[in-house]
Chain A
Amino acid sequence: MDIKKLLKKLIGEPFGEDVIFIVRNNGNHVLSSGKVAPVLTDERLKSGDRVITVKDDQGKVFILSGKK
């Protein structure tokens, strides 16, 4: 295993990837992982979009941006 990947695994990583399952007008979109995540971007997102997520220090997940 790549030493960088190993270290990442050990130390944790705030960023992740997910898919938007349901888009809500209030910006709290439902991800296919089942989590409800507010957006930190003003991008137009739609159901099925792959997104980059980020976790805050409380473990709550947010949508950082779409992944093109």
Chain B
Amino acid sequence: MNLRKLFKIEWPKWKVIRLVGNSGRCIMDDGTIARKISNVQLKVGDKVLVYLNQILKIHVEDIRYVPLMRAIGELLIICHVGDTTGSFIKKYYNLINSTLTEINSLIGWTLTDDGKYGLIWDGEIHDDPDDYAYLVEGNGMNVASVINGMVAKQQTGKQARYLLNTAMEDEIFKPWTYQVILPGSYDYTYNFLQLEDSLIFAPYRMKSKPFISRYVDDGIITIPHQWAGANGTLYFNSYQSDSFIDSIPVTPRIYYSLFDEGRTYKEISGDDASVGAVNYYEDADKIQDIIRADTFLWYTSEMAEPIQKEKYSFTEETIMGDEYHRCSDPENNECYFVDGGTISGQTIDPVTHLITDTGLSTIANDIKLIFSVCEGGELDYIRSQKDTEMTTFNTGVYCKDTLIEESGDEDIINLYRNTPPTFAEYNRCPLYVRKTCYQILQSHHSENFDALVYRKTKYVSHDSELLDYMIYRSWVGDYVQVRKTNIVSITTFHIYVNGKIHNLPYECNNTEYHLTGLAEAYTGDPLPITTYLQALPWLDVENADNSNITRIFTTETKEKLLIGLDVFPVVFKNNITYTLRNEYWGYYTLDAIYDDSEVSFPPSSDSTYENVSTRKWMLFNEQGDLDTEITPPDYKRINGLILLNPKD
């Protein structure tokens, strides 16, 4: 055989039989001759695959019809279920097509649950998660559970180790409690709600899920959550970037649990409580590194630049150093500093978090609000771009450094700007309304899948009315009439998998309210009031069909990604109330009071709504398409979820 012939690729071709010879040789429709390679019956007109003059059709026994039984191509799902988020009853299911069947025996499987779940709060804050007691333990290393909603596993066929993770609650609203102290030792507290994805409030909110649990060759790396306060609530560190309203969970330690040393933790980071934000693991040249974002102090604790990247070598147990910044222009150090309510000279009120003056803005024009860091160092983030005058805003969602969706340059609606801006008092401020806001709720990255679950809040309309109240304004030098503005928006929910966006059939209609005083003296005779609600937006959601999605789980096999989420109703409102607070001093106040006639404050999809309104389990393929929807188990809560394919 000469080389040219050798390198010529010959692939099987489909041909039609023109003549069948007794010897088994057939003349094909292109005039060539091919022979059959078994005693298969062939006839003229058969279309057959021919390779090197052989007909690739094989007969084995006989030609009678052999009914094929439908075989079970089954996946295994392991769940923690129960009545509350503190229930950890383990259930096993076979998943065949879209049908779940509960099973009691796991023949052939060797499963090791390396987690322990259900932390029992003992009233004390422990740095080491092992110092708490837990409701249930697995049969493995007893690593404290991690609540990023993404399962960790190490699998070869039917042998698997895993950590079932718990999902976080992603509320659509932010409970707000405000204490007012009046002269004469009269003080009162009122509750109201704000929209998490407000279009007028805290435009640079950053939210991240830094907790990880990840199998490596010789153990498990975890960054567990830290608990604080009564009932063991999750400890968020927000003081460091108050003006950005970051809600970054504190993750003080990284643990490296080695298989051959049992439960012995190798503590990597120590008690660095300022650490928060995001992280990733990589394994290059057998050097295992963790990279996570860190905050650092600037003069005082007011400093807030939450994205300093640290790189740890597990082999060296040292910080290798590295950093990046939330601003796109690392040369412009001004944009990093948030101190005393200003961002590089730009006023952001520390209470209202409204931008009160944009004309001379030095806020960076391009900011990344990072949700998570992938293993390769790529980022999932919300990007906010504006012009210097902040007349336009473009916000977008990025998955693994790739743009998924963005608003495009949208005009900022500038309500009630009093020009020229010569007065320093913050509550004379204009009201800036953005038209789009994104929030990432969950990210999932593996060899075959890159996925995000996110929500989008879009501006719909706004309106205002003048109230029969007046309030004193020093910069006017007189009483001015109170104006109530409402901004209507709609929040929708979306899933991104491997390049494709899927819109979920749920929405939430929001109305944000905002009180301001007019810029001119009022000559009427309404009631004079004091309102500490001035410039603090609050939220009403009254439509019974409104929903929020939360408790998101993601777990994958090599071919399928399972995303599970719960849908909760969202119904609440705040009543605007005029109250005589102090008869002696004659203080009347105008407040937004949370209406607890239906749902107590603060409403919580975890504790308030005992039953989910809908639970969705969706199976996606590598093309990013929705393969099938699975009818999930009918328990009040799913508290852990893993998908295993025995052929992985």
Residues of A within 8 A of B (CB): 7, 10-12, 14, 19-25, 27, 30, 32, 34, 40-48, 54-57, 62, 64-65
CB neighbours of A47 from chain B (8 A): 71-73
> A residues within 8 A CB of B502?
none
Residues from chain B with Cβ under 8 Å of A24 in the complex: 68, 70
B66 at the interface (CB under 8 A from A): yes
Contacts of B69 in A (CB 8 A): 23, 46
Check A54–B56 contact: CB distance below 8 A.
yes
B647 & A21 in contact (Cβ 8 Å cutoff): yes
Contact of A56 among B12, B58, B61 (CB under 8 A): B12
Given A40-B58, A41-B59, verify A10-B70 contact (CB < 8 Å). no
In the complex, A65 Cα to B73 Cα: how many Å? 20
Tell me if B68 and A23 are in contact (CB < 8 A): yes
What number of residue pairs across chains A and B have CB atoms under 8 A from each other?
A: 83
Most buried by A among B11, B59, B70: B11
Total interface residues on B, CB under 8 Å, equals 31
The answer to whether B60 and A43 touch across the interface, beta carbons within 8 angstroms, is yes
* Separation of A64 and B60 alpha carbons in the complex (Å): 11
Given contacts A34-B559, A55-B12, contact A40 B71 (CB under 8 A): no
- Chain A proximity of B96: nearest CB distance (Å): 9
Whose C-beta in chain A lies nearest to the C-beta of B52?
A: A14
Are B12 and A14 interface neighbours, CB within 8 A?
A: yes
Whether A57 lies near B11 (C-beta < 8 A) is: yes
Asked if B178 lies at the interface with its beta carbon under 8 angstroms from chain A, I say no
* Residues of A contacting B60 in the complex (Cβ-Cβ under 8 angstroms): 41-43, 65
Evaluate contact between B68 and A44: CB separation under 8 angstroms.
yes
- Whole-angstrom distance between the Cβ of B49 and the nearest chain A Cβ: 6
Cα distance, A25 to B65, chains bound together (Å): 11
Instruction: Encode contact with A along B38-71: 1 for CB under 8 Å, 0 otherwise.
Output: 0010000000010100001111111100111111
In the complex, are the beta carbons of A25 and B56 less than 8 A apart? no
Chain A proximity of B582: nearest CB distance (Å): 72
B6 contacts partner chain A, Cβ-Cβ < 8 Å: yes
Check A43/B58 contact, CB under 8 A, given A19-B647, A20-B71, A57-B11: yes
Q: Are B66 and A23 in contact (CB under 8 A)?
A: no
**B584 CB–A CB distance under 8 Å:** no
**Does B13 touch A at the CB level, under 8 Å?**
yes
Residue numbers in A under 8 Å from B13 (CB-CB): 56-57
With A21-B647, A22-B73 as given contacts, are A11 and B9 in contact (CB-CB < 8 Å)? yes
B14 at the interface (CB under 8 A from A): yes
Contact sample, A vs B, 24 pairs, CB 8 Å cutoff = A7-B6, A14-B12, A14-B51, A21-B73, A23-B69, A24-B68, A24-B70, A25-B68, A30-B73, A40-B58, A41-B59, A42-B58, A42-B60, A42-B66, A43-B58, A43-B60, A44-B66, A47-B71, A47-B72, A54-B56, A56-B13, A57-B13, A65-B58, A65-B60
Residues of A within 8 A of B6 (CB): 7, 11
Which of A34, A42, A62: most chain B CB closer than 10 A? A42
Residues of A within 8 A of B63 (CB): 42
Distance of A49 from chain B, by nearest CB (Å): 9
B72 touches A40 (CB 8 A): no
